């Protein structure tokens, strides 16, 4: 069932667990995540970066594929199709293409401009019943060309953006996209705590879910994080499983070169990663 992310995140915030956002890249990725969500009876958010949208031919192809897949696979758990780190124009395109949720990442604008653009999108999303994620402070590292310095969010600015009526708020708290460096200082729980105190019921979003130790994830959830984004970790497990298949020479045995066989270990690896995250985030059985 394709739905906005609002209800699933309100429930997650109240129930002190988090819903995973898993980014998709192609049909196999999408199918693996949807089937796992159904098996685990968990709500799920499919994330699509602007780069991934372009790769998959465009947002309309993505939206139509996801809707058809939900129907053909008989997926009954709540699924949100969400633009990840969208530009202002990208958010509007996804809304037109049939996404049920968008992120407008205005964190690189001065706060006044971030507020102005976010406010306009709140109006549009409210009217259409879509959920909207906004961002304050930046996520470090790089994801599909979106680069962030990684500065921690100002809690007062978070409050200003939360008060505009967004559905969920991503705040930089020392998190980074991609693998974490050896000398990473960890998440700033003081910042998270201050943001949560000021924003109350607002579901908070933790980006850069790959490689954050389980204890930190649990603490972040206890401090109001209700949505956690995971991208790189599925890419790593897919690549590892595919490499193993080829290194073992399986593509050279019989019809092992058939793409349906060649991509099967990577598909299973994504399923295992998504299941592990759903268990850690506490969303299993919460559909």
Does 177 contact ligand 13P by CB under 6 A? yes
* Shortest Å, Cβ 166 to ligand 13P: 16
Does 10 contact ligand 13P by CB under 6 A? no
CA-based nearest residue to 34, from 82, 70, 8? 70
* Helix axis angle, 27-40 to 59-72, nearest 10°: 40
Give the interface segment with ligand 13P, choosing from 2-10, 31-39, 73-81, 230-238 (CB under 6 A).
230-238
Tell me whether residue 173 or residue 245 sits nearer to ligand 13P (CB atom): 173
Does 210 contact ligand 13P by CB under 6 A? yes
Does 83 contact ligand 13P by CB under 6 A? no
Q: How far apart are CA 250 and CA 247, in angstroms?
A: 8
Contact 282, 228 (CB under 8 A): no
Does 90 contact ligand 13P by CB under 6 A? no
Beta-carbon contacts of residue 253 (< 8 Å; ≥ 6 apart) = none
Does 84 contact ligand 13P by CB under 6 A? yes
Helix residue ranges per DSSP H, 41-110: 50-55, 59-72, 88-97
Query: Catalytic one among 84, 105, 154, 201?
Result: 84
Tell me whether residue 11 or residue 85 sits nearer to ligand 13P (CB atom): 85
Does 165 contact ligand 13P by CB under 6 A? no
Does 230 contact ligand 13P by CB under 6 A? yes
**Is residue 84 flagged as an active site residue?**
yes
* Shortest Å, Cβ 252 to ligand 13P: 32
Does 143 contact ligand 13P by CB under 6 A? yes
Q: How far apart are CA 23 and CA 29, in angstroms?
A: 8
Q: How many residues lie near ligand 13P (CB under 6 A)?
A: 16
φ, ψ for residue 169, nearest 5 deg: -130, 125
Q: Which residues pair with 229 in a beta bridge?
A: 21
Tell me whether residue 12 or residue 245 sits nearer to ligand 13P (CB atom): 12
Does 157 contact ligand 13P by CB under 6 A? no
* Shortest Å, Cβ 232 to ligand 13P: 3
* Shortest Å, Cβ 172 to ligand 13P: 11
The burial class, CB within 10 Å (0-12 / 13-18 / 19+), for 214 is exposed
Rule CB under 6 A: choose which of 51, 98, 165, 178 binds ligand 13P: 178
Does 51 contact ligand 13P by CB under 6 A? no
Give the interface segment with ligand 13P, choosing from 74-82, 205-213, 243-251, 258-266 (CB under 6 A).
205-213
Burial profile 137-158: b = 16 or more Cβ within 10 angstroms, e = fewer: bbbbbebbebebebebbbbebb
Q: How far apart are CA 175 and CA 171, in angstroms?
A: 9
Burial profile 220-257: b = 16 or more Cβ within 10 angstroms, e = fewer: bbebbbbbbbbbbbbbbbbeebbeebeeeebbeeeeee
Interface with ligand 13P by CB under 6 A: which residues?
23, 47, 84-85, 143, 177-178, 207-210, 229-233
Instruction: List active site positions.
Output: 84
């Amino acid at each position: 069932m394709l739905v906005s992310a609002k209800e699933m995140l309100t429930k997650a915030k109240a129930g002190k667990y988090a819903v995973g956002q898993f980014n998709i890249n192609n049909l196999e990725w999408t199918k693996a995540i949807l089937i796992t969500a159904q098996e685990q009876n968990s709500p799920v958010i499919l994330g699509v970066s602007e780069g991934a949208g372009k790769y998959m031919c465009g947002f309309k192809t993505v939206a139509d594929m996801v809707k058809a897949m939900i129907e053909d696979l008989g997926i009954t758990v709540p699924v949100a199709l969400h633009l990840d780190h969208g530009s202002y124009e990208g958010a509007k395109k996804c809304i037109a293409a049939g996404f049920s949720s968008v992120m407008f990442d205005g964190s690189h604008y001065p706060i006044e401009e971030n507020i102005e653009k976010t406010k306009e999108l709140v109006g549009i999303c409210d009217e259409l019943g879509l959920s909207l994620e906004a961002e304050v402070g930046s996520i470090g590292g790089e994801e599909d060309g979106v680069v962030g310095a990684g500065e921690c969010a100002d809690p007062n600015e978070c409050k200003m953006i939360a008060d505009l009526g967004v559905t969920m708020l991503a705040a930089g708290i020392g998190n980074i996209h991609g693998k974490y460096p050896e000398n990473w200082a960890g998440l700033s729980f003081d910042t998270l705590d201050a943001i949560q105190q000021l924003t109350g019921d607002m579901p908070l979003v933790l980006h850069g879910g790959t490689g954050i130790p389980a204890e930190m994830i649990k603490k972040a959830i206890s401090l109001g994080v209700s949505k956690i984004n995971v991208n790189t970790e599925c890419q790593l497990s897919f690549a590892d499983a595919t490499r193993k298949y080829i290194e073992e020479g399986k593509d050279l045995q019989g019809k092992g070169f058939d793409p349906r066989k060649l991509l099967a270990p990577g598909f299973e690896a994504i399923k295992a990663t998504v299941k592990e995250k759903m268990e850690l985030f506490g969303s299993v059985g919460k559909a």
